[in-house]
Each structure stands twice: as structure tokens, then as C-alpha cells.
A and B are shown apart, each in its own frame.
Chain A
Amino acid sequence: MTARIQVPASARRGEVIEIRIAIQHPMETGFRLDDSGRAAPKNVVNALVCRYNGVEVFRAEMGSGVAANPFLSFFTVAEASGELVFDWVDDQGQTGSERAALTVKG
């Protein structure tokens, strides 16, 4: 699963920063017919967690109402230099993970 993350490379301590993530995934609804006319089984990225230096700062539960190739933007307070780790899983149990480094000044 290809994914892209946008985190500022550096921030001031206490600064509220925007985090963006996009994941390449069809978010199959289960209502769509495949080429042979059968309903393609539902398969969506149903859970995504973002941990900042090991502490959960954001969690999403998603259903088939989230668009294909899911995109999320949320915020967090820059507290200390370290790492943001993203983990997600789809209905078929396939997992994905990405990480981004953040430098906090001051």
C-alpha cells in the first residue's frame, strides 16, 4: 500500500501542527460489481492510528462512506522532537505503516 504523509520538518514547542496522510486503497464498498458481475467484497481501511513518540494522538474508524484513496488531515501539538508513526489495517487484515520525523525547537 503506497501512502504519503505530510508533517512539517520542524516546529516550535507548543505549536499546533497539521498532519496529512493519503493512502492508496480502493475502499471497496461491497456494493460495486466487478468485471464478472459479482459484487466485489467490501474492503476498506477501517482503522488508522497515529502515535507521537508512542502516545496515541489520533485514531480514525472508517467505513465505506470514506472516499477511495482515503485522505485525512488532523492536528497535534508539537511537544518534543521524535517520530510520528501511522498504522492502519483493512477489512482483509492487510496492514500498512509509515513514519515521519519531527524536530521540535525551543
Chain B
Amino acid sequence: MTQKTLCGGLLAVALALICVAGHAQNAAKPQPLKSGLEFTGPEVRDLQRDDFANPGMLWVTRGEKLWQESAGAAGKSCAACHGDAKTSMRGVTARYPQFDAARAGLINIEGRIQQCRERRQQAEPFKYESAELLGLTAYVGQQSRGMPASVTIDAQMRGRLEAGRDLYYRRMGQMNLSCAQCHQDNWGKKLGPETISQGHSVAYPIYRLEWQTMGSLHRRFRSCQSGVRAELSPQGAPEFLDLELYLAWREGGLPIETPGVRR
């Protein structure tokens, strides 16, 4: 048996057990809200809290440099328009995703950075999971560190929030599991050596030991899809933006931790 089938098998057995034993919780938000850090070991917590040892800070440093660099046909840097990110970007990540009139849809921080790049800098957009986009997203996110997640759901966004909630409760993949079955109904319980978290997005992008690199929230969504043996959606997919909005609403009030570290 390979490691992968062994892991998958254990996951299936463990979840089958807790799903039978557990009872459906109807509360839409976990009570109380807990950061993913509370479900990790002391090593991961120490790594995140030490601003030098935290490997995610390498991406923040990269993002900080990119913020100052001129790019594209317009020859403008982020700083040329936005000035010092420490003030102009303070609290921005905490308010995302938002409704974008031009797209007539949701946009997340990554999307907004790409939009600036294409329209204002007239430069090629970055690849979704590139070190550059992760760096800028992490640098912008860090400016909201400690501020409560506080997305505003206006009339235009209500439909997207509902779509996100539907997706959150929809069973998927060969294991026929929804997000909610793990992260809403069974958080705090053991799955092998790990404790199931509440699945919040406030620490993203995160440095994940499993990945050995920084990764986006949408990469994490893909990890969960692969964990339950579902088809993987691409980063930036509309359904991922809906899910991102639902998570932002669900975790409202939790402080932003970017750049987070997880196992």
C-alpha cells in the first residue's frame, strides 16, 4: 500500500466514524471562533510568531521590494499610486473579497493586484501561485495583521454569499464529503495525528510545511478537494471566490494573521 492510499484510507475510515457518531450542527459559524493556530503544535505556533524565523516573511520581503519596483508599459510601481503600504493598505485585506463592478462579480486581493498590474501598470499579470503574486498578497495582507476580518455583504454580494454557503455544505468527491462535515461539524476532533481546524482564511497566504513553500487560499481549497478525491478547480475560479466570501463572512471578527504558518 502506498503512503497516499494509506492516508486516504485512514481519512475515509476516520471521517465515516465521526460522521456517524457526530450530529449535524446547524449553527452557521463555529462557536467560539478559533484561529487555526490553536489546532497546531507549539512548533508551528512559535514559527509563526517569530517574525524572523517565520519563513512566510521571505515572501513578505519579496512583496515589499516588488511594491517599490516600477513595472509594465506605464513604468509605475504600486507605491507610485498607493504610497506607503503601511498606511494605504492597512485594513484592506480584512475587507476582502469585494464586489467589482467592472467584472460584475467578486474580486479577491490577488485579483485586485492583477487588475492593477494590467490596467495601471500595463504589465503582464502574474501567475496565480507565483512567488511574485504570493509576495505582494502577503505584503498587503501583513498590513492588516491584528485587525478583525470584516467583510461587508452588500445587496450585490448576497447571491454570491449564498452560492458560497451552498458550496460549503455540498458533498463532493469520491469520499462524498462537504467542507462543513469536517470544519463546521467536527472541528476540534482528532484525525490521525492532527486536530481538525475550523478552516478559517485569516492567515493566508500561508507557509505550509507540507508544501515547503508559501501558498494561496485557493491552493488550500485545492488541497481539500484532493483530500476528498474531488476534481480540482483552478485557482481564481468563480466558485472559489464564492467560497472565499463565505469564509470571510463566517470568520468575521477573527484577527488577520498574514503571513501564517501551518503544518
Direct contact between the two chains A and B in their complex (CB within 8 A): yes
Residues on A facing B (Cβ under 8 Å):
2-4, 6, 20, 22-24, 26-27, 67-69, 71
Bound state CA distance, A3 and B57, in angstroms? 10
- Residue B44 lies at the interface, judged by CB distance under 8 Å to chain A: no
**A69 (CB) vs chain B CBs: closest residue:** B55
Rounded to whole angstroms, the CA-CA distance of A24 and B214 in the bound complex is 10
Contact residue among B52, B131, B212 (Cβ-Cβ distance under 8 Å from A22): B52
Additional pairs, 4, CB under 8 Å, beyond known A4-B52, A22-B52, A71-B55: A22-B53, A26-B213, A68-B213, A69-B58
Q: Give the residue name and chain of the A residue nearest to B209 (CB).
A: A67
| Complex A-B: 28 CB contacts under 8 Å | A2-B59, A2-B62, A4-B52, A4-B57, A4-B61, A6-B52, A20-B52, A20-B53, A22-B52, A22-B53, A22-B55, A22-B58, A23-B58, A24-B59, A24-B62, A24-B131, A26-B212, A26-B213, A67-B212, A68-B55, A68-B212, A68-B213, A69-B55, A69-B58, A69-B212, A69-B213, A71-B53, A71-B55
Complex CA gap A22/B259 in Å reads: 16
Report, as a range, how many residues of chain B touch the other chain. Answer: 10 to 19
Q: Which residue of B lies closest to A70 (CB)?
A: B55
B57 touches A22 (CB 8 A): yes
> Using Cβ atoms and an 8 Å threshold, which residues of chain A touch B131?
24
Which 10 pairs, one residue from A and one from B, show the smallest C-beta to C-beta distance?
A: A68-B212, A24-B58, A69-B55, A2-B62, A6-B52, A2-B58, A2-B61, A20-B52, A4-B61, A22-B58
Within the assembled complex, what's the spacing in Å between the Cα atoms of A53 and B58? 26
Q: Identify the closest chain A residue to B52 (Cβ).
A: A6
Please report the C-alpha to C-alpha distance between residue A69 and residue B57 in the assembled complex, in whole angstroms.
11
Task: Mark contacts of B120-135 with chain A using CB atoms, 8 A cut-off: 1 yes-contact digit, 0 otherwise.
Answer: 0000000000010000
Using known A-B contacts A20-B52, A71-B53, determine if residue A4 contacts B212 with beta carbons closer than 8 Å: no
B58 adjacent to A4 (CB under 8 Å)? yes
The minimal Cβ–Cβ distance linking B4 to chain A, given in whole angstroms, is 12
Q: How far is the CB of A78 from chain B (nearest CB, A)?
A: 19
Q: Which residues of B contact A71 (CB under 8 A)?
A: 53, 55
